[in-house]
Structure 1
Amino acid sequence: MRPVSRITPQLPVHAFQTYQVIAPPSTHWRTATCAEADCPAYLQGWKSLIDESTDLGQKQAHYIRREARRRYTERRDEAGLTVFEFEAGQRCFAPHQVRLDRPEVYLVRAGDWRGNPNGQIRRYDRSDQWVYDFSAHQERINTLRERA
């Protein structure tokens, strides 16, 4: 992941509000099968290229051959890597999640990425309430700019 590049704020943290729409993993997502997640590997099959000249590659190849319980064919490619080709319709090695049918959480926090100076968080159950809050906040900012 690339580091976040930010513009240095010209105002103190307490002069900001952060508007967020979130779907927390703990309440809005669940573990899913490959089929439920429309996993491309499950739908089309996949290849894993393993370099067995390394310790990690040897461990990966051992796992596939002895423990993974997947259907595959095995060959060597031109570079000497082991190519495991897995058939479609079987569980891949990646974890999957699917979204639950729950509405998003609409939040307004005091502060910005630097922190929440007074711990204030407003939570809205409906998007129109959050949009109204955002609109009113923008109007306050415009009024202050016009007075300056």
Structure 2
Amino acid sequence: MNRIEPTMPVTAYKTYRILSPLSTHFRPATCAQAECDAHLNGWRSTIDESTVLGQQQAHYIRSQSGRRFVEERFESGLTRFEFEAGQECFAGGHQVRLDRPEHYLLADGDWRGNPTRRSRALRPQDWINDFGEHQQRLADQLERG
């Protein structure tokens, strides 16, 4: 990751974060629940059956996937499978958000560390107010030079 090198010590910075952890704010979901594009619109998968992996994938699609499709084979060894909408996609792992509030966190320091080890959770309005006041202090200092 490329970062601009800070011009001040780590103690001069604050880190504001809003978190919605996967483990507490999301749950597994079906394609329909997640409004997956493939489920809504259908999708195409092009498989290279000239390779062992491609042959295995095509065999799975044809005989084990349980999905509805139309296939088109090409002389190049490629096969295009076109799946109709309304089916579970192959990607899986969909998640939908639970109705839980985000965590609003404020910590001393920046990406280099938190020298005071101080970190606290704030109410959303307090986080917004602190963030705004901090931005205003920075703007005022910049204007003064």
1:88, distance to aligned residue in structure 2 (A): 1.3
Greater CA deviation, 133-142 or 90-99? 133-142
Question: How far off is 1:40 after superposition?
Answer: 1.7
How far apart, in 2, do the equivalents of 1:101 and 1:58 lie? 43
Deviations 1:114-138 (A, max 9, x none): 22233221101x3211012223333
Matched-pair contact (CA < 8 Å) for 2:50–2:77: no
Match status 1:74 vs 2:103: no
How much does 1:145 deviate?
Answer: 5.7
Query: 1:123 is matched with which residue: 121, 124, 131?
Result: 121
CA deviation after TM superposition for structure 1 residue 140, in Å: 4.6
Matched residues in 1 for 2:80 and 2:120: separation? 53
Distance 1:145 1:44, change over 3 A: closer
Q: TM-score, normalised by structure 2?
A: 0.84
Give structure 2 stretches of 5+ with no counterpart. Answer: none
Aligned twin of 1:14: 11
**1:33 and 2:52 are equivalent in the alignment:** no
1:102 paired with 2:100, answer yes
One-letter code aligned to 2:10? V
Give the count of matched residue pairs. Answer: 144
Which amino acid counterpart does residue 28 of structure 2 have in structure 1? T
> RMSD between aligned alpha carbons?
2.2
Q: Structure 1 residues 19-28 or 132-141, which shifts more?
A: 132-141
Q: What displacement does 1:143 show?
A: 6.2
Q: 1:84 to 1:122 in 2, by over 3 A?
A: same
How many Å separate the matches in 2 of 1:40 and 1:140?
Answer: 45
User: Structure 1 residues 137 and 69, CA, compared in 2 at 3 Å: closer, same or farther?
Assistant: same
Distance 1:7 1:55 in 2: 47
Describe the superposition over 1:73-127 as per-residue Cα deviations: whole angstroms up to 9, x where unpaired: 2221464311111121111112211111111110112221222233221101x32
Residue matched to 2:83: 86
- Per-residue CA deviations over 1:1-31 (Å, capped at 9, x if unaligned) read xxx3211111222221110111111111111
Q: 1:146 to 1:76 in 2, by over 3 A?
A: closer
- State percent identity of aligned pairs: 58
- Structure 1 position 141, deviation (Å): 4.1
Is 1:44 the counterpart of 2:41? The answer is yes
